[in-house]
Amino acid sequence: MKAVEVTGLSYAYPDGTRALRDVDLCIDEGESVALLGPNGAGKSTLLLHLNGVLAVSDRVHIGGLPVLQENLSEVRRRVGLVFQDPDDQLFSPSVFDDVAFGPLNLGVPPDEVRKRVDAALEKVGMAGYGDRSPFHLSFGERKRIALATVLSMEPSLLVLDEPTSNVDPRARREIIELLRGMGLTKVIASHDMDMVAELCDRVMVLAEGRVVADGPVDEILTDVELLERNGLEPPSSVRVLSMLGVRHPPVVLSPETAREARDQVRRDGSRSP
Amino acid sequence: MEMEHDFLDKYAHIDGPVQRLHPHPKILLAVLTILLVVLTSPTNTARFAGVGILLALTLAVSGVPASFVLRRSLVVLPFVLAVALGAPFLEPGAGGHVPIVAGLEVPRAGLLVVWNVLVKSWLSAVTMLLLVSTTPFPSLLDGARSLGVPRIMAQVIAFMYRYLFIIQDELMRLVRARTSRSIGNEGFLWHARTAGGLLGSLFIRSYERGERVYLAMAARGYAGELPILERQKMASRDVVASLVMVLVLACVAGVTL
């Protein structure tokens, strides 16, 4: 069964803006898929459709279940949607209340809720922060708590809108490692190419509400022409290495891939432009 | 980038006996104390002293810095001053006049009124400040809600507590951006005109944030009811401690009858 199946989904906002045009999307269990595209391409709109908060549609299936009114409770349990601005997601006076909010809405019994809150906070490395108020926390901490608020619902699919935007490098690294450690199926909308390269195995490019590319991460992120045509840029390592004439530049630099690239440049140096 | 905000419950998370007490009896104790203070005759200084000593002891045990509470208790001063302005014009009555400074006499009854307002409002303010600075705000809300404050009120206060400072930060950023584009000699009219724009844009931002918050709530299964989970169960030591405190209050009231 597919984790996510979207067929021919279109959506226009009430003011007439057509945000999605005939979108097809199929995601297998365990996949990590990045959603790329310039601002206004429809990324967030697509994400919001995955658990039916913007509109319900039987063109969207989550784990085989159509996103219809009668399935909303189950769909929202399955799909953990993490918003870009943690201040939008964390509305309660305490961290505990926010992490407990989802499970309580699902009718989980109180003792089980307490267990889930502890487990979710533990998972994001924020154990013991339950009594704190969200605005006593740093932005990076709030981002992690926002993640915990959906983990407590024990979702099978994590949907993240810009998980690394506005955070400092250390907090960004922590979030990347956290997400890497989670075996869940993930859909990540982002402009952070290096993060996408590290975390995702597949990339979809959206432009003006349409899917214009869909493929393995090292194929899409090294296709400089495709990315630039859609207002995007490849990771800086890819740009540098392709300028140096490396034919298949690695999307993630590690000591090993860097050495290989260097050797290739040395070998082919005379032939490169 | 964000302002340093002044949180009333800054000391509510340190581990102390006052902080550990369940919020329900704590709220009730505070209300009882205030009732006792308010219902005391202004001449009964012994009882005011008794309550004052109790509050001082609680403050000492709680670990909240005295300066934190005392500085905030000054909030009652403007009200006392307002009353004091009227005091010289009261009917002198039996007490006659009391000289204050050379050439100024105040009726004794007026002094009593000022003293009455000063001591009662100050003791009540200290009691409330002790309550809110030793109880995390969410627990306070929980307590208030289960003691009969309407749910919708509690929700509105909860959202206010959460978003007030965020909106304040947003306003500060807007003002800063305006200032950075001004040259410093703009007149009152300019300020008034641009303030309108600032408020408008603050309103739109807040409105849009409200929509996003709602979406985020809906995404986690919100269907119009905020679920509650009481975070702290009442334990026997809460009951014992509260009964002891009520007894002590009753003693203070009785001894100073």
Q: Find the CATH number of the domain harbouring A32.
A: 3.40.50.300
Q: What is the secondary structure of A23-81 as a DSSP string? A: EEEEE-TT-EEEEE--TTSSHHHHHHHTTTSS--EEEEEETTEEE-GGGHHHHHHHEEE
Q: Which domain holds residue A257?
A: 235-273
Question: Is the domain of B246 the same as that of B204?
Answer: no
Answer yes or no: is pLDDT of A3 > 80: yes
Domain annotation covers residue A167: yes
Question: Is the domain of A161 the same as that of A210?
Answer: yes
Cβ distance A91 to B217 less than 8 Å, yes or no, reads yes
Structure tokens belonging to residue A104: 């309580």
Domain annotation covers residue B224: no
Answer yes or no: is pLDDT of A20 > 50: yes
Answer yes or no: is pLDDT of B73 > 80: yes
Domain annotation covers residue B54: yes
Question: Is the domain of B67 the same as that of B194?
Answer: no
Question: Is the domain of B116 the same as that of B242?
Answer: yes
Farthest-apart Cα atoms in chain A, separation: 69
Domain count across chain A: 2
pLDDT in tens, B89-140: 777 666 677 777 767 777 778 888 888 999 999 999 999 999 999 988 878 8
pLDDT of A269: 64
pLDDT in tens, A195-234: 999 999 999 999 999 999 999 999 999 999 999 999 999 9
Q: Is B3 exposed, middle or buried (0-12, 13-18, 19+ CB in 10 A)?
A: exposed
pLDDT in tens, A108-145: 999 999 999 999 999 999 999 998 888 789 999 999 99
Question: Is the domain of A54 the same as that of A82?
Answer: yes
Question: Is the domain of A271 the same as that of A194?
Answer: no
Backbone angle region of B49, left / alpha / beta, with phi > 0 → left and psi within -120 to 50 → alpha: alpha
Distances from the Cα of A11 to the Cα of A59, A61, B220, B247, angstroms: 11, 16, 22, 67
- CA–CA distance, A84 with A90 (Å, rounded to integer): 11
Report chain A residues whose CB lies below 8 A from the CB of B170: none
Question: Is the domain of A84 the same as that of A12?
Answer: yes
Per the prediction, chain A carries an average pLDDT of: 92
Distances from the Cα of B46 to the Cα of A29, B43, B49, B256, B257, angstroms: 74, 9, 5, 6, 9
Q: How far apart, in Å, do the first and last CA atoms of chain B sit? A: 56
Cβ distance B220 to A149 less than 8 Å, yes or no, reads yes
Would an 8 Å CB–CB cutoff place B224 in contact with chain A? no
Q: Which domain holds residue B206?
A: 151-219
pLDDT in tens, A237-247: 898 888 888 88
Q: Are A166 and A139 in contact (CB under 8 A)?
A: yes
Distance of CA A181 to the CA centre of its chain: 14
**Percent of chain A at pLDDT exceeding 70:** 98
Domain annotation covers residue B239: yes
pLDDT of B1: 43
**Minimal Cβ distance to B138: which of A89, A90, A97:** A97
Q: Are B162 and A91 in contact (CB under 8 A)?
A: yes
Would an 8 Å CB–CB cutoff place B231 in contact with chain A? yes
Taking alpha carbons only, the member of B244, B243, B246, B167 closest to residue B201 is B167
Task: Name the residue with higher pLDDT: A107 or B146.
Answer: A107
The strand pairing partners of A61, in sequence order, are A5, A66
pLDDT of B178: 87
Domain annotation covers residue B1: no
Question: Residue A220, SS3?
Answer: helix
- CA–CA distance, A236 with B20 (Å, rounded to integer): 53
Domain annotation covers residue B3: no
Would an 8 Å CB–CB cutoff place B101 in contact with chain A? no
Domain annotation covers residue B11: no
- CA–CA distance, B192 with B199 (Å, rounded to integer): 11
Instruction: Give chain A's contact residues with B (Cβ, < 8 Å).
Output: 48, 51, 53-54, 72-73, 76-77, 79, 81, 83, 85, 87-94, 96-97, 100-102, 104-106, 110, 113-114, 131-136, 149-150, 153
Phi then psi for residue B63, to 5 deg, are 85, 0
Query: Chain B 157-176, CB below 8 Å of chain A: which residues?
Result: 158-159, 161-163, 165-166
Answer yes or no: is pLDDT of A270 > 60: no
Q: Are B164 and B70 in contact (CB under 8 A)?
A: no
Domain annotation covers residue B161: yes
Question: Is the domain of B127 the same as that of B162?
Answer: no
**Percent of chain A at pLDDT exceeding 90:** 76
Amino acid letter for position A199: L
pLDDT of A129: 93
pLDDT of A93: 83
pLDDT of B76: 87
Distance from CA of B226 to the nearest CA of A (A): 8
Band of pLDDT at residue B224, cut at 50, 70 and 90: confident
Cβ distance B138 to A135 less than 8 Å, yes or no, reads no
Question: Is the domain of B24 the same as that of B129?
Answer: yes
Question: Is the domain of B156 the same as that of B60?
Answer: no
Report chain A residues whose CB lies below 8 A from the CB of B141: 93
Report chain B residues whose CB lies below 8 A from the CB of A53: 215, 218-219
Taking residues B80-89, report their average pLDDT.
81
Q: Are A211 and A25 in contact (CB under 8 A)?
A: yes
Domain annotation covers residue B123: yes
Question: Residue B171, SS3?
Answer: helix
Per the prediction, chain B carries an average pLDDT of: 85
Give the position of tokens 């403007």.
Answer: B78
- CA–CA distance, B164 with B149 (Å, rounded to integer): 21
Amino acid letter for position A1: M
Cβ distance B212 to A85 less than 8 Å, yes or no, reads yes
DSSP H/E element including A216: strand A210-216
Q: How far apart, in Å, do the first and last CA atoms of chain A sit? A: 48
pLDDT in tens, A68-104: 999 999 999 999 999 999 999 999 888 999 999 999 9
Question: Is the domain of B205 the same as that of B138?
Answer: no
User: Which residue on chain A is closest to B164 by alpha carbon?
Assistant: A135
Domain annotation covers residue A116: no
State pTM to two decimals.
0.79
- CA–CA distance, B99 with B87 (Å, rounded to integer): 13
pLDDT of A207: 95
Question: Is the domain of B248 the same as that of B166?
Answer: no
Structure tokens belonging to residue A164: 């690394």
Amino acid letter for position B183: I
Question: Is the domain of B119 the same as that of B176?
Answer: no
Taking residues A150-156, report their average pLDDT.
95
Report chain B residues whose CB lies below 8 A from the CB of A110: 229
Domain annotation covers residue A106: no
Answer yes or no: is pLDDT of B145 > 90: no
Band of pLDDT at residue A34, cut at 50, 70 and 90: very high
Q: Are A10 and A23 in contact (CB under 8 A)?
A: yes
Cβ distance A133 to B220 less than 8 Å, yes or no, reads no
Task: Name the residue with higher pLDDT: B232 or B166.
Answer: B166
Question: Is the domain of B193 the same as that of B88?
Answer: no
Q: Are A113 and A191 in contact (CB under 8 A)?
A: no
Burial readout B245-255 (b: 16 or more C-beta within 10 A, e: otherwise): beeebeebbee
Q: Are A75 and A52 in contact (CB under 8 A)?
A: yes
pLDDT of B6: 61
Domain annotation covers residue A105: no
Backbone angle region of A30, left / alpha / beta, with phi > 0 → left and psi within -120 to 50 → alpha: left
Burial readout B151-164 (b: 16 or more C-beta within 10 A, e: otherwise): eeebeebbbebbbe
Question: Is the domain of A12 the same as that of A85?
Answer: yes
Cβ distance A93 to B7 less than 8 Å, yes or no, reads no
Report chain A residues whose CB lies below 8 A from the CB of B5: 135
- Which residues are within 8 A (CB) of B207 and not within 5 positions of it... i.e. 6 or more apart? none
Domain count across chain B: 2
Domain annotation covers residue A216: yes
Question: Is the domain of B77 the same as that of B90?
Answer: yes
- CA–CA distance, A243 with B106 (Å, rounded to integer): 90
Question: Is the domain of A159 the same as that of A273?
Answer: no
The secondary structure of chain A in percent helix, strand, coil, rounded to multiples of 5, reads: 40, 20, 35
Task: Name the residue with higher pLDDT: B10 or B198.
Answer: B198
